[in-house]
């Protein structure tokens, strides 16, 4: 484990119920990140999606990938202090080629794996994939920018 949820909250501004990364397990600055979210039936989204057939929404999977990508971008900032990170935020500019290959259900561990396609200054291009039990469930290309709050 590299970062637990307490450490992630020092990096990202997201909080319950919208913090969608529980742990970061691998990180190579400017290259790669892996993390996960344990999907629980107690997630508020399952009250309406769907009460008798709970499926974790694809948009939430993409957001979780984006949050993991945000951790990667922040941790790739050369010699950035905690204070500098606290005054920045990651905005996602585009999500392309999104595909949803299998449903995610309560009890699943959703593993996010993102590779840097390229980085130009504060702009990041990421290839994101999400897995359950090593089965690809979602993929997308994400473009993000680090900006001042």
Active site residues: 49
List of long-range contacts for 6-13, beta carbons under 8 Å, 24+ apart:
8/71, 10/82, 10/85, 11/70, 11/71, 11/74, 11/75, 11/85, 12/67, 12/70, 12/71, 12/74, 13/89
C-beta of residue 38 within 8 angstroms of C-beta of residue 109 = yes
Cα dist. 106→51, 94, 113, 139 in Å?
12, 28, 20, 20
Other beta carbons less than 10 A from residue 135's beta carbon? 10
């Amino acid at each position: 484990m590299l970062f637990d949820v307490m450490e992630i909250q020092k990096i990202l501004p997201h909080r319950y119920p919208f913090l969608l990364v529980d742990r970061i397990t691998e990180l190579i600055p400017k290259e790669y990140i892996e993390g996960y979210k344990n999907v629980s039936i107690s997630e508020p989204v399952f009250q309406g999606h769907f009460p008798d057939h709970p499926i974790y929404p694809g948009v939430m999977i993409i957001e979780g990938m984006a949050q993991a990508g945000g951790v990667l971008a922040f941790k790739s900032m050369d010699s950035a202090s905690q204070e500098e990170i606290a005054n920045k935020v990651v905005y996602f500019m585009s999500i392309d080629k999104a595909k949803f290959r299998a449903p995610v259900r309560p009890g699943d561990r959703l593993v996010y794996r993102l590779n840097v396609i390229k980085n130009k200054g504060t702009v990041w291009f990421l290839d994101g994939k999400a897995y359950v039990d090593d089965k690809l469930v979602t993929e997308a290309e994400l473009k993000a920018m680090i900006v001042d709050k």
